[in-house]
Amino acid sequence: MPIAAFQAADMVHAHGAPAQDQRPHHPSRDGFFSHHGLWAPGVRLFRRLGFSAKATLITLTFLLPIGVLGWNYFASQGGQIDFSAKELDGTAYVHEAKSLLPVLLQARSSDDAGLASLAPRLREAQAKLDAADARLGKDMGTTQAAQGLARLTETLASNPGRDAVRDAAVSGAVKALVDLVGTASDGSNLTLDPDIDTYYLMDATSFRLPAMLDAASLTGQLGAQALARGSVSPAELRKLIEQTAILSNSLDGLVASVSKAQGYNAEVKQRVEMDVAAKAVHDMLDAIERQLLQEDGVHGQAAELLKLSSATQAALLRLDEQASSELDALLAARVGRLVSARNLTFVLVCISLVAAFYLFTSFRKVLHGGLREVTRHIELIRDGDLTTQPHAWGADEAAGLIRAIQEMQVSMRALVTQVRQASDGIVTASREIAAGSIDLSTRTEHSAANLEESAAAMEDRKSTRLNSSHTDISRMPSS
């Protein structure tokens, strides 16, 4: 034991326990946050929990915001998918509704016999619209408007009436049809479409083109009647001016809408051809201007104007078919993209969760196994067993502990070996000292025996001498 340790122990025995620290007391050092600061609550909590509870708490802490974000994402994606799917339902409904429009426009220029031949087509188109309304009308809010249109078409098919009555019936049915298309567009989210290309295609097919078709048909019919009579009444003139203004303004809006859709999406320009329909409308407007709106009166052929009107309507119908098909394709592609993105995200999330669970379980097994192995070796060392051979697998913290235990075990073996060798040396020296002591004792006893023998011999000699002296004196003559 070092001298300083002996001196310290003597001072403790002499003066009692060492005096307490007399430095100034700082309450903050002994408070809740004294050792770990801001981390103190977490540290104290984790000190009271086992590994499974810690892992569960950390996992829940991560999963809660991830779950909320995932729920919001999938809810948002589902909402967008439902929104666009409802738009597709709207385009399907509008397609069935607009299938009536060419028949109604043809009925405007037909006589009683022609209208009678159109009646089956009217009823067939109306039956398809009724079926679409029965399937989708409740969600879109079109049932009432569809029923009103059905009454008008049935009346038109059953009771043609005179030309003026028929024209009014056709105009009323066309107006009801245009209103129904607008209602369906509003109720199916088409008018709220978020993309530029699909929004302006919707604007063209649902609002611009139906109005232009009606205006082209009515203008051609009024113009042909005026040309056939060779004069135009003030009422007809006002209506012609009104319808040509609608046709011209709608054309400008149509060109703007299609141009925006084409500018946003180059593929629209390849599939929707605007030039033919625009040229046909311009040609018809020029013909109306030349033949019917000049100060010198009307001049021209009614048949040619009707032919031009029919060509214009055909061009507009082709454009409507192209734009409607492109709108359907774009909406279907958007729904497909949204569904694919949602499904891909779902798959990736599931794979990530499975991978996280697998890695977490592996981590738990590694940590538990490492700590269990560390505990086992420490307990064996505590019990005095230094014969085990700790083996570290990997390079994690548990492996580092096992390597440290292995090094400690090697050091302890060396220390025990040194102590054992020192003990063996002490035992050997003790034995040698004991043997020397025994030999010394034997020699001492032998020397004592020799001394006793010498003393006895000397005593015998003394006695012999005394006896000899007494004998000699007794033999001397008395005087």
209 closest CA partner among 186, 234, 228, 181: 181
Distances (CA, A) of 152 to 134, 169, 205, 221: 18, 7, 23, 20
Sequence-distant (≥ 6) Cβ neighbours of residue 479 within 8 angstroms: none
Q: List, for residues 197-255, the tens digit of each pLDDT value.
A: 999 999 999 999 999 999 999 999 889 989 998 888 888 899 999 999 999 999 999 99
Question: What's residue 163's pLDDT?
Answer: 61
**pTM, 2 dp:** 0.73
Structural contact between residues 336 and 232, judged by C-beta atoms closer than 8 angstroms: no
Question: What's residue 22's pLDDT?
Answer: 46
Concatenating the DSSP letter of every residue in 203-220 gives HIIIIIHHHHHHHHHHHH
Q: List, for residues 37-87, the tens digit of each pLDDT value.
A: 888 888 888 888 887 888 888 888 888 999 999 999 999 999 999 999 999
Structural contact between residues 313 and 105, judged by C-beta atoms closer than 8 angstroms: yes
Assigned token pair, 135: 């399937």
Helix (H, G, I), strand (E, B) or coil at 353: helix
Q: What is the DSSP code (8-state) at residue 297? A: -
Model confidence at 384: pLDDT above 90: no
Q: At 441, phi and psi to the nearest 5?
A: -65, -40
Model confidence at 9: pLDDT above 60: no
